[in-house]
Amino acid sequence: GQQVMQIPQYQHVQEGEDFTTYCNSSTTLSNIQWYKQRPGGHPVFLIQLVKSGEVKKQKRLTFQFGEAKKNSSLHITATQTTDVGTYFCAGPQAGTALIFGKGTTLSVSS
Amino acid sequence: DTGVSQNPRHKITKRGQNVTFRCDPISEHNRLYWYRQTLGQGPEFLTYFQNEAQLEKSRLLSDRFSAERPKGSFSTLEIQRTEQGDSAMYLCASSLARTGSYSGANVLTFGAGSRLTVL
């Protein structure tokens, strides 16, 4: 079945440094979504990418969808302590259920 | 709208007992999903409903698990004869699926989850 893989699993940065997490799917995706889960919280939707090569920005966050629609990345510029949490990518499998990666957990020290 | 509501938030039970979780989705959402999450892992898909119809179940879903959404509104997830391996956070999510659009319409809104501990 479809698999969604994320790297790295963990990342620690100093406040102000940049951060990137990568997502790869074993199959071509019609779209990819990103969610953030704060410690002790539940996943919260960040963004959805649909088009090949699409780039979207949300303030310091930049999301990309690969040309082949099999990979994606999330880049955070100048991290802040509020960026702490686990970032998940998710893609729809053959039905309509979203399959989530294992996530990248970001910690930030000030 | 208060978002997706799940009850109970925490449940501690002994192995072999049955447990039931309830999810109240966002009222205008027609799809409801159940996921399971363990520490250090992403949400693992269990099953989902469109209105009252259960459209998809994970192959990993044991026959001890059953979910219902009888009137297309709230849903229940029952686990029979619980095992220690069932200990996890059970997340419910809902979405609005628009007809005639691509599956990308399925943006999920999650509830806070129901944490199950099986002793």
Q: What percent of chain B has pLDDT over 90?
A: 81
Å between A38 CA and nearest CA of chain B: 11
Report the alpha-carbon angle A81-A87-A90, nearest 5: 160
Closest residue by Cα to residue A60 from A100, A89, A20:
A20
Q: Average pLDDT for residues B31-59, to the nearest whole number?
A: 94
Q: Could you say which residues from 30 to 69 on chain A have a Cβ atom under 8 Å away from some Cβ of chain B?
A: 30-31, 33, 35, 41-45, 48, 50
Å between B18 CA and nearest CA of chain A: 25
Q: Average pLDDT for residues B36-55, to the nearest whole number?
A: 94
Encode pLDDT of B96-116 as tens digits.
Answer: 887 655 444 589 999 999 999
Amino acid identity of residue B94, one-letter, is: S
Q: Would an 8 Å CB–CB cutoff place A27 in contact with chain B?
A: no
B111/A42 CB distance under 8 A:
yes
pLDDT attached to residue B1: 56
Closest Cβ–Cβ partner in A41, A88, A95 for B56: A95
Query: In terms of pLDDT, which residue wins out, B90 or B104?
Result: B90
**Distance, CA of B117 to CA of B21 (rounded, Å):** 13
Closest Cβ–Cβ partner in B43, B56, B103 for A30: B103
Tokens standing for residue B79: 């686990």
Interface of B with A (CB under 8 A): 31, 33, 35, 40-45, 48, 55-56, 58-59, 91, 97, 102-104, 106-113
Taking CA atoms, B72 is separated from B38, B81, B103, B118, in Å, by 28, 27, 20, 30
Encode pLDDT of A18-64 as tens digits.
Answer: 999 999 999 999 999 999 999 999 999 999 999 999 999 999 999 99
Encode pLDDT of B12-37 as tens digits.
Answer: 999 999 999 999 999 999 999 999 99
Exposure on the CB side of residue A13, measured as CA atoms within 13 A: 23
Closest residue by Cα to residue B53 from B21, B88, B97, B19:
B97
Best A9, A96, A102, A107 member to test B by mutation, with max B CBs in 10 Å, is A96
Q: Average pLDDT for residues B54-63, to the nearest whole number?
A: 88
For B103, list phi and psi in degrees, rounded to 5: -65, -10
